[in-house]
Structure 1
């Protein structure tokens, strides 16, 4: 850091209460967006108020530094990166300031996330319909800066069409209101009037040139919106010159939006095509039925989706045969019978076009109707994840965004895409295509490896040839995702030198010092300047030994590099509701504490950009500190980033360099000392009863004095080597994990009772070779003790192998332990014996539901309660094993089962006990879980399979949650729940 930047940091820290981040780790986390570029900023400011944001702007300007406002950081063209000061508006400046329901308008701060805004609007029957695929993390300020479009722009238009006004500050700090202004501004000399007068004069002067050079397609977001300045009526909306300006003209403080009634009814028609060309040619005909969207899914996306667990079910449900392309046609008229009529017309139109399910490959096709809301939602989730599905390829080459947003008139779409595929083939690659067929704007990405000079040259050649075709078709080279670093260079060839001079004039008039996000739209660098790439010519990752198997990925470190680089900064981990990912970010809203931030830090560390030994450094541990290893990213990240698994490598590297802390030893070696402490239970539990001992434990071991540790007991579950149930019963192994065996044996007793009642022959094997009870190694992995975990799993595999060999299910209760056999075991051992044990490992509910489905389970269950609320363990959700929990509970007669929509409970093993993580643990729980439990009636069962989850619920609500096994055992004996449950 230079003396100037040190002085700048000190001044910002004195005058701003928000975060001021100038260390290399935080700067690195803000050096990228969802593009292939990387520019490290001088520093980052996270203001608490708009006034602080403006103060940061003034201080940076005084220091001669550039300023780049930033929202979700998901731009695909490099708009949100620069080497000056990045001002992150997403953490605090995210409020709905006012709402006018009658007039369907609202005013918001720029950092509010689209999905969050629509959640608040929904109860009033309204929504903001510029429904970008990144709605779970895209901010309104960023969408305005980008002139975002969304999938339904056919009906609702673009961001520009729905922006009524904006408040913003010029680079010199002048606050202005941008809205409707009269073209006759008179001779007023105030700064606003003078600026607007100059802009309107430019619009009058250049009206003919704008009419000639600007493409006549709706999907045109390139350059500045000079067409907003030309004479049309008596007034012009000056906000529209800011929309699409990518933060280069002004610093937005408020945005006034036009709102629409929520969609009440809709249906989808999934049109199948035997050839991609035929699908593209059909689009121009399908839009005549006036759908609100026509979205493309190509063969590549279908195939990749089948390999992603969260998308596989919807593909199996809606894709018929082997199509080369799908067009998903959406109708959303207020009257549902009218939508059904349009579906009928869609099928008739496909028939008129010659498509038939019985044809051969040419003209093969038809329509699959989708009317179920849940399936429609699943399709929407798959469609909006298109980019990230494409990026899930586990190879060095990835689909690269640079020509993806070209928009051409619909009659030319088939020819354009056909010619484009030939261009890709000419340069030795292929492309992926998806998205907005209704607008002639496809997200087209050739597969390239930008670490290779030859592929960078191919990118340049493809861009030049593609943009030439777009000009030929009178289309737009920038149709949705903006200009940034990747497309700004090509404005001159698209618009001509006179319009480029006009763009430069606009920039100079607004920001003569080029303070605000320079290098975008006006005076950009070359798009293929490799010094600005995420992977520069000198980028390299040294080979290093990893503890886990990463062979599914390319790159150094046994494939660890490839796994880390799967993160493309799409930001899906920044979502605030729905699913589980990322619980720590939901609590802190810090870039450091989101999966993307951690992955970026790892990439920078292993490539030497954060200095020597960065992987085992204190700063890296701080980066990983709030990762609760929930494994949600493994399931919910569209590119499959598995941060929980990566964290094990970091912890192992840390342990090798710095050894173990006392807390690591206490957590990791729990399975070793648990038998002894159980025998000494009264003495071992003394810590919970003594304030002095609690304080001492906090000081020397970092265990929070605010938490009671799980109580030791002498009567542990320990029927090693015993067999229960009828001799002729179907065999099953019951895996007694350390936590249930030691602290809550009643869960294992209940499971045993249920299995025996079901007629099963239940084995509780004694470890081969004797010794301690079996363990999955989970606690050792959480401390980075991979060799110890491997040793524990070796004992377990050796013991369970004979059962797995003859097809006996291995059933466990604790999700984090049982699912270790389906996950980390295979990263530590790849032999057939380990694979067999893994394949036979089932959670208790999975086993019961499977048996019930095949007619092998019959239990004499009786009613016990009217209702149960269920919290799912993160690992259950990650492995698709939560639905069986609901299904198992529904075996109980007359029980209404309601799932709590929650992320991680926040306890997460030892995480919630840490003195330095206790507060965050509670914040996570208070986001949704604890309030939902408090709302549950006194006679409602609270169900949670995870040991940690039950303890968090007890600590936070004084309600006792129980395992499903106990609920079923109570139902067997017709035992009504006691009042404390």
Structure 2
């Protein structure tokens, strides 16, 4: 019987009683329902253990109260931060306590002495953002820095990419405050043998003195040894022993951390990178031991597999294209970061010389590849760092049933043995019928290694076991550590006895029992662990099944059953990149609420549990599933920013379609979905249709019966909807384009279409606005229907559009649109509804207004007489523009306007997101999203500054939340045309005005 089975899991009545007590005594969230428990049943490992309940305390006193209540009830407790552990450290059958939402403050900061005290739930990136203004940072820079909490990093003894210079978490932890399982609170810091401290401390120092010789013999002599308990911190030495270092790496099994005191360092001000190219993987590994002699702060490996996968991910394509020459088998990224940039440049030149001395110069005829690409530009350095940090998840983006699996993930061997170790490792993989991916910390002899396996198959699970045993035996042969960065959890704890010997294992058990005699704290980790290949503990246990699913959209690009929908859902590996709080767009709802329910990972986990029957029958169309999806704004940020490509916006359409098929439509769904079909009628009776905005009574009635917030003004219908009497305007000999007049700009803001038409004609283009082939209502992309789950109706609208535009695209005429959500539907959802060549032709020719103008300018074909309109503009990008890499052209086009200073608002989703911001139950979340960055930035702008936003919903949110009008880029360019004409001003157009 394992430790995870020694405590009661509780029957329904017992769980209800515990839940009721916790709810009474804890102000924070208490969850005992299957949906919320399921979201905490997994971390970034391949394990799944359903907890009895989840508590999210608001204060540390509440956290300690929860510990006491749960302990007295005979349950176990697992503390949790970002839930990004690779080895199953943060899952258990007891009560999970989530520190990340509320317990995330800097308690104190001592700038002069470079130290701070923090709560365990603070995220590393958030900590460093606050420290940066003081010129300091915490340098244990793990790749999950955007969501990893300091408490979790302390639990794992995290290392980061620059541990060659800065050391591990243990090296940078000064002290810790923690409570034992019985509630006793202690301060863990420096202690000398003669100090009159707690009995526990004396017992630990006595153990260290008693076992000093055994520890010296059995503990690997590599920096990256993070397996087991840090007994070497207890061995007598010249300086005081720091008992906080015993808690570091203990994975929440010894004490309940309440505060952590950290050692801080000056921020890196200058750095350079050298990307060293190698024709074989072995050559790269063998070279690492020589490159470290130049004293870099990091040497990171990127292998052929990771480069190939990265080239398939839009956000990384330009980075790899610039930093990597040709097709090397591996590159080593060498980083120098001395205070003096001249010294960094000198070492970078030395690196090139050393590579030449080793036979890896660019022009060596004996080598297939060689040489160094020097990277001194900060933006490119940042891009390379982001690519390297995303490595774990880039590897997981393989669209196949087998995935790179973490279990021999981070073994560490002495650097001179690294090349032979990796060569033999590949032989082990081949012997067991697979291959592996490798990357990361070559400077430390610690590579992230993942064999490709399908853990739904018994034969692959058996192969995993055999690979683990063979690999760990080889690591011991090289006197390395089987755990070099990601800790033990349930993956490696089983193998401690082979690594350390029975006597050290007995010491580990003694430490655990002395701290936690009743085995309350996160049992089953480090000591008394289950078998690592116990499939009953897997995310995909032996009885895991997903019945055949009839899907509304085409998911054939993904592996697996259910038309690929299952494979798409299972692309989520729980890495938690969607939990980042700044940078990019993903995930706007999580940034507003900090709830696991409202993050892409939480939704994907819920979908997986639902389609596999673990949440009961018909869970996909249930109220609980709709609650899970409620705050998803379909921004598509995850499609672009999730390293494994989880497309939650598309998955939400499936949920909405299932819901609509099972339960029908609400009044609001009908009003939103069918808007394009009644728009012309509403326009005809615009004064009547707009009455609701001016009547408090009608607002209240709309909220009660249609769920539309009374606090929102709806877009105003207008009688003068955009209509073009002529199907073609512009010079007869001009280059042809089609202007797609979307429903929103046609019905509400025709000025944008008028302006776009003026700009295109002024540029010499022949603009087609064709009538629908059926001579019916105006064309529509189907976006509103998709937002209500009405997939068949959306397909019908797109069929009309395709039939109308096909004669143009077959002769290469581009389709230009103004509304990002509408135009980009042609590049995205259209291909999930139709897979024929005609539809693909439409998709390939669909361009946003700015994308088209940039393309024309770069080809030297754009001729626009433009004049000045303002001194400055601030620009908010629509989420879909960012997702499809279509936002940069907005900035480029605005820079065509003379004397206009263009500043981009670093914003996530505006929060309006189509109809989302109008919902009575989502209004508040909508405003919270807008207040994160967009609205404050608009309010700071002076009255003379232009506010630019291409999205209809974005403009409405800015108007509602900041009282400012925002303009589409087309209107800014039309204003610029007017300025040129009125002042006889004409900006000089070069051959390539975009790039000067």
Question: 1:31-86 CA distances to partner (integer Å, 9 max, x unpaired)?
Answer: 00000000000000000000000011101001100000000000000000000000
Cα distance, 1:758–1:888 mapped onto 2, change above 3 Å: same
3-state secondary structure, aligned to 1:974? helix
How many residue pairs end up in the alignment? 972
Give the distance between the partners of 1:611 and 1:517, measured in 2 at CA: 28
How far residue 3 of structure 1 moved from its aligned partner, in angstroms, is 1.1
User: Which residue of structure 1 lines up, in the alignment, with residue 517 of structure 2?
Assistant: 512
Q: Give how far 1:198 is off.
A: 0.1
SS across alignment from 1:369 = strand
- Residue aligned with 1:860, SS: coil
| CA displacement at 1:769 relative to structure 2 | 1.3
2: CA distance, partners of 1:503 / 1:122: 39
Q: Residue deviations 1:390-416, cap 9 Å, x none?
A: 000000000000001100000000000
The equivalent of 1:830 in structure 2 is 835
CA deviations over 1:256-283 (Å, ceiling 9, x no partner): 0000000000000000000000000000
Q: Does the 8 A contact of 1:295 with 1:329 survive in 2?
A: yes
Counterpart of 2:20 (choices 10, 13, 25) is 10
Q: Distance in 1 between matches of 2:118 and 2:980?
A: 53
Does residue 318 in structure 1 map to residue 323 in structure 2?
yes
Q: Partners in 2 of 1:853 and 1:470 — Cα distance?
A: 55
- Structure 2 gaps of 5+ residues are 1-10, 983-996
CA distance in 1 between counterparts of 2:168 and 2:799 reads: 58
Residues 1:537 and 2:529 aligned together: no
Alignment of 1:593-612 (within 5 A): 593-612=598-617
Match of 1:774 in 2: 779
1:819 aligns with 2:824: yes
Match of 1:129 among 120, 133, 139: 139
2:34 corresponds to which residue? 24
Is the Cα–Cα contact under 8 Å of residues 739 and 767 in structure 2 kept in the other structure? yes
Conservation of the 8 A alpha-carbon contact between 2:352 and 2:361: no
1:731-742 to 2 correspondences below 5 Å: 731-742=736-747
Aligned to 1:964: 969
Give the Cα–Cα distance (whole angstroms) in 1 for the partners of residues 494 and 704 of structure 2.
58
Say whether the 8 Å CA contact 1:720–1:764 is kept in structure 2: no
In the TM superposition, what are the counterparts of 1:865-944 in structure 2 within 5 Å? 865-944=870-949
Cα distance in 2 for residues equivalent to 1:308 and 1:183: 56
CA distance in 2, matches of 1:357, 1:463: 39
Distance in 2, Cα, partners of 1:678 & 1:206: 85
Q: 2:667 aligns to what? A: 662
Shift of 1:362: 4.0
**Residues of 2 paired with 1:334 and 1:732: CA distance?**
54
Hey, what's the Cα distance between the residues in 2 that align with 1:68 and 1:277? Answer: 41
Counterpart for residue 800 of structure 1: 805
Deviations 1:822-877 (A, max 9, x none): 00000000000000011000000000010011111111000010100000000000
Partner secondary structure for residue 277 of structure 2:
strand
1:2-32 C-alpha deviation (Å, 9 max, x unpaired): 2111110000000000000000000000000
Structure 2 equivalent of residue 284 of structure 1: 289
Q: Which residue matches 1:645?
A: 650
Question: What are the Cα deviations for residues 393-451 of structure 1, in whole angstroms up to 9, with x where unaligned?
Answer: 00000000000110000000000000000000000100000000000000000000000
Q: Is the 1:275–1:361 Cα contact (8 Å) retained in structure 2?
A: no
* Cα displacement (A) at 1:667: 0.4
8 A contact 2:596–2:602 mirrored in 1? yes
Report the alpha carbon displacement of residue 361 of structure 1 after superposing the two structures with TM.
7.1
1:54 aligns with 2:58: no
**Matched residue SS, 1:949:** helix
What displacement does 1:976 show? 12
Aligned partner of residue 97 in structure 1, secondary structure: strand
Query: 2 CA distance for matches of 1:976 and 1:147?
Result: 66
- Contact 1:970/1:976 (<8 A) preserved: no
Q: Give yes or no for contact 2:301–2:330 (8 Å, CA) kept in 1.
A: yes
In the aligned structure 1, how far is the partner of 2:446 from the partner of 2:361? Answer: 27
Q: How far apart in 2 are the matches of 1:422 and 1:464?
A: 14
Cα-to-partner distance string for 1:127-180 (whole Å, 9 max, x where unaligned): 000000000000000000010000000000000000000000000000110011
Note if contact 1:355-1:363 (Cα within 8 Å) is conserved in structure 2: no
Q: In structure 1, how many angstroms separate the alpha carbons of the residues matched to 2:239 and 2:904?
A: 56
Q: Which runs of 4+ in 1 moved over 6 A?
A: none
3-state SS of paired residue (1:688): helix
CA distance in 2, matches of 1:493, 1:552: 44
Q: Is 1:624 aligned to residue 629 of structure 2? A: yes
* 1:442-453 mapped onto 2 (5 Å cutoff): 442-453=447-458
Q: CA deviation at 1:763?
A: 0.6
Q: Distance in 2 between matches of 1:772 and 1:975?
A: 37
The answer to whether residue 85 in structure 2 is matched with residue 80 in structure 1 is no
The answer as to 2:143 corresponding to 1:138 is no
- Matches of 2:52 and 2:530, distance apart in 1: 19
In 2, distance between residues paired with 1:671 and 1:386? 44
CA deviation string 1:766-794 (max 9, x = no partner): 00011100000000000000000000000
Whether the 8 Å CA contact 1:275–1:362 is kept in 2: the answer is no
Query: Of 108, 112, 117, which aligns to 1:107?
Result: 117
Aligned to 1:189: none
Task: Give the superposition deviation at 1:356.
Answer: 2.7
Match of 2:530 among 517, 525, 530: 525
3-state SS of 2:447 partner: strand
| Superposed counterparts of 1:632-781, under 5 Å | 632-719=637-724, 722-781=727-786
Provide the secondary structure at the position in 2 that maps to 1:280. helix
1:720–1:38: structure 2 CA closer, same or farther, 3 Å change rule?
A: farther
Structure-2 residue corresponding to 1:118: 128
- Pairwise CA distance, 1:557: 1.3
> Is 1:788 matched with 2:793?
yes
Mapped pair 1:974 → 2:979:
yes
Residue 346 of structure 2: aligned partner: 341
DSSP-derived class of the 1:547 partner: coil
The 2-side partners of 1:975 and 1:202 are apart by 84
Q: Distance in 2 between matches of 1:769 and 1:932?
A: 46
Q: Could you tell me which of 244, 253, 260 is aligned with 2:249?
A: 244
User: CA contact under 8 A between 1:864 and 1:976: conserved in structure 2?
Assistant: no
* 1:69 counterpart SS class: strand
Shift of 1:360: 5.3
Query: Deviation at 1:359?
Result: 3.9
Which residue is 2:477 aligned to?
A: 472
1:676-712 CA distance string (max 9 Å, x none): 0000000000000000000000000000000000001
Match of 1:173 in 2: 183
Cα distance, 1:182 vs structure 2? 1.6
Deviations 1:76-112 (A, max 9, x none): 0000000000000000000011111000000100000
Offset at 1:544? 1.3
In structure 1, the residue matched to 2:992 is none
State the distance in 1 between where 2:215 and 2:360 align.
42
Contact 1:768 1:795 in 2 (8 A): yes
Aligned to 1:406: 411
Shift of 1:721: 5.2
Gaps of 5+ in 1: 187-191
Say if 2:312 is the partner of 1:307. yes
Per the alignment, residue 149 of structure 1 pairs with: 159
The Cα shift of 1:505 comes to: 0.2
CA shift at 1:364, angstroms? 2.9
Work out the CA distance in 2 between the residues paired with 1:871 and 1:756: 27
Q: What is the deviation of 1:181?
A: 1.2
Distance 1:97 1:815 in 2: 44
The whole-number CA distance in structure 2 between the counterparts of 1:659 and 1:271 is: 59
Q: Cα offset for 1:233?
A: 2.1
Matches of 1:656 and 1:672, distance apart in 2:
21
Aligned to 2:426: 421
Q: Within the alignment, does 1:861 sit opposite 2:866 as a pair?
A: yes
Do the aligned residues in 2 keep the contact of 1:97 with 1:107 (CA within 8 Å)?
Answer: yes
Q: 2: CA distance between counterparts of 1:657 and 1:765?
A: 38
Question: Aligned partners of 1:728 and 1:755: how far apart in 2?
Answer: 14
Distance in 1 separating the partners of 2:676 and 2:729? 25
Contact 2:866–2:980 under 8 Å retained in 1: no
The partner residue of 2:960 within 945, 952, 955 is 955
